[in-house]
């Protein structure tokens, strides 16, 4: 009979727990075979009829292997401290064995015959780790008995958790590990139950389970609120008043005033010199008309000539520079004032929508 037909023939009313072959680290074939036999003997003694027969388990695993099913059980023991072990392989083999739970052991041996026994119990339907036991000792029957007994005690002290009220398509996580649909068989103590679904707000809740309890919790999820309606457009701001460049007007006006003053002051010696020249011309004309008056007007002519020379010197010294400075100030002030006047209609144009 083929392994597949044998597995089907032995599947009726199968017990709920399957013991998978032992994972050995640092063991020879003889020690690994011995560990597997002794662990199964202790498991049968402690778990009794709950444990699936070895022939059934092996037949189903061999049938799956014939269909190219490959599973690395050692990966379940390779998780770092504090991280949940990967359970996909063990869950897959539990489905193959048609078991509700699977037990797998890793035996690692060090010098002097000392060994480390690690045992995992996985809920196949709930896809959760139920128990984890680590025992240090020698490769003897007491070693296996201690580990299996502690697993049985933990199983009897476990609890059942069921969550209701969640929407369709919800995804569950227990203690950070993905889980199938409820109910779940868990170790007594505190667990973190989390759920999320498309269109709903994710939720998580810490739940304390007493030993042997069958806890049912309401776990509805709130729908994600719809986005707020778009805000109404703000009214257009009022058009600003035409901007008048008062500082430019004031500055330009001041420059114009200073320019006018500078030109006016600078022209004083120039005008005085012109008056002196006109007076000298008149005196010269009178002397030419009446030569006898030259002596009487000589002093006056000398005075006017000296005053004309002073006015000419004043013009050259500060009058002409003052006129040039005033002219420049008039040009600058006039340009600033004209620019400010031209800026007023530009500001109105920019403010017009």
- Whether the full predicted model's pTM is greater than 0.85, yes or no, is no
- Structure tokens of 247? 């500082």
What is the DSSP-derived secondary structure letter of residue 110? -
Residues 201 and 305 in one domain: no
Q: Which pLDDT score is estimated for 219?
A: 93
Residues 8 and 151 in one domain: yes
What mean pLDDT is predicted for residues 58-82? 82
Apex 66 CA angle, 63 and 68, nearest 5: 120
Residues 296 and 210 in one domain: no
Residues 261 and 121 in one domain: no
Residues 258 and 179 in one domain: no
Contacting residues for 19 by C-beta, under 8 A, at least 6 apart:
39, 40, 43, 51, 52, 54, 57, 102, 103, 104
316 part of a folded domain: yes
Band (5; pLDDT cuts 50, 70, 90): very low
Cβ pair 161, 182 in contact under 8 A? yes
Residues 13 and 123 in one domain: yes
Residues 18 and 147 in one domain: yes
Statement: residue 210 has pLDDT above 80: yes
What mean pLDDT is predicted for residues 138-167? 72
Band (3; pLDDT cuts 50, 70, 90): very low
Last residue of a domain, one of 156, 181, 196: 156
Any alpha helices (H) in 226-353, and if so which ranges?
A: 246-289, 294-314, 320-351
- Structure tokens of 199? 């269109």
Q: Which pLDDT score is estimated for 75?
A: 85
CA separation, residue 301 to residues 273, 277, 289, 308 (Å)? 14, 11, 15, 10
Closest-CA residue to 120 (of 139, 138, 135, 136): 135
Q: Which pLDDT score is estimated for 300?
A: 75
328 part of a folded domain: yes
Q: Which pLDDT score is estimated for 204?
A: 93
Q: Which pLDDT score is estimated for 286?
A: 72
Band (242; pLDDT cuts 50, 70, 90): low
Residues 148 and 175 in one domain: no
277 vs 240, which has greater pLDDT?
A: 277
135 part of a folded domain: yes
Q: Which pLDDT score is estimated for 111?
A: 63
Apex 124 CA angle, 148 and 78, nearest 5: 65
- Structure tokens of 299? 């002093």
The two beta strands, 177-179 and 171-174, are: antiparallel
230 part of a folded domain: no
Residues 191 and 267 in one domain: no
Q: Which pLDDT score is estimated for 13?
A: 43
**Positive or negative: CA dihedral 42, 46, 47, 48:** positive
Last residue of a domain, one of 129, 156, 183: 156
**Distance between CA atoms of residues 191 and 184, nearest Å:** 11
Task: For residue 30, give the CATH number of its domain.
Answer: 3.40.50.10070
Residues 29 and 40 in one domain: yes
The two beta strands, 159-164 and 214-218, are: parallel
Overall number of domains in the chain: 3
Note the maximum CA span of the chain: 171
Whole-number mean pLDDT of the chain?
76
44 part of a folded domain: yes
What mean pLDDT is predicted for residues 249-277? 76
Residues 140 and 69 in one domain: yes
> Quick one: which H or E segment has residue 190?
strand 189-196
Band (153; pLDDT cuts 50, 70, 90): low
Statement: residue 352 has pLDDT above 50: no
Q: Which pLDDT score is estimated for 144?
A: 63
Last residue of a domain, one of 131, 156, 181: 156
Cβ pair 200, 224 in contact under 8 A? yes
Domain residues for 282?
Answer: 246-351
Highest mean pLDDT (candidates 185-189, 273-277, 285-289, 341-345):
273-277
Band (293; pLDDT cuts 50, 70, 90): low
Q: Which pLDDT score is estimated for 244?
A: 56
Statement: residue 143 has pLDDT above 50: yes
Residues 255 and 170 in one domain: no
- Structure tokens of 44? 């049968």
Cβ pair 100, 124 in contact under 8 A? yes
């Amino acid at each position: 009979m083929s392994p597949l037909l044998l597995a089907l023939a032995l599947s009726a009313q199968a017990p709920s727990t399957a013991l998978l072959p032992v994972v050995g680290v640092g063991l020879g074939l003889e020690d690994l075979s011995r560990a597997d036999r002794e662990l199964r003997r202790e498991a049968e003694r402690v778990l009794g009829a709950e444990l699936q027969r070895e022939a059934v388990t092996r037949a189903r695993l061999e049938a799956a292997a014939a269909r190219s099913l490959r599973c690395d059980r050692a990966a379940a023991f390779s998780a770092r401290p504090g991280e949940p072990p990967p359970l996909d392989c063990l869950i897959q083999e539990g489905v193959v064995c048609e078991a509700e739970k699977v037990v797998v052991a890793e035996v690692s041996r060090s010098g002097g015959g000392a060994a480390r026994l690690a045992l995992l119990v996985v809920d196949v339907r709930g896809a959760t780790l139920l128990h984890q036991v680590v025992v240090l000792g020698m490769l003897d029957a007491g070693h296996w008995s201690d580990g299996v007994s502690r697993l049985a005690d933990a199983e009897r002290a476990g609890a059942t958790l069921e969550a209701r009220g969640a929407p369709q398509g919800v995804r569950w996580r227990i203690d950070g590990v993905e889980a199938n649909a409820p109910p779940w068989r868990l170790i007594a103590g505190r667990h973190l139950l989390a759920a999320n679904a498309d269109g709903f707000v994710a939720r998580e809740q810490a739940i304390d389970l007493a030993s042997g309890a069958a806890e049912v919790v309401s776990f509805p999820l709130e729908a994600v609120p719809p986005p707020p309606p778009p805000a109404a457009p703000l009214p257009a701001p009022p058009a600003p008043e035409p901007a008048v460049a008062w500082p430019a007007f004031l500055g330009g006006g001041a420059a114009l005033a200073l320019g006018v003053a500078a030109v006016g002051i600078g022209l004083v010696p120039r005008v005085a010199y012109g008056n002196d020249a006109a007076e000298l011309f008149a005196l010269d004309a009178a002397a030419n008309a009446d030569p006898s008056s030259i002596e009487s007007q000589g002093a006056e002519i000398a005075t006017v000539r000296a005053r004309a020379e002073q006015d000419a010197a004043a013009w050259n010294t500060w009058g002409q520079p003052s006129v040039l400075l005033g002219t420049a100030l008039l040009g600058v002030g006039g340009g600033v004032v004209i620019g400010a006047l031209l800026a007023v209609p530009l500001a109105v144009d920019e403010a017009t929508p």
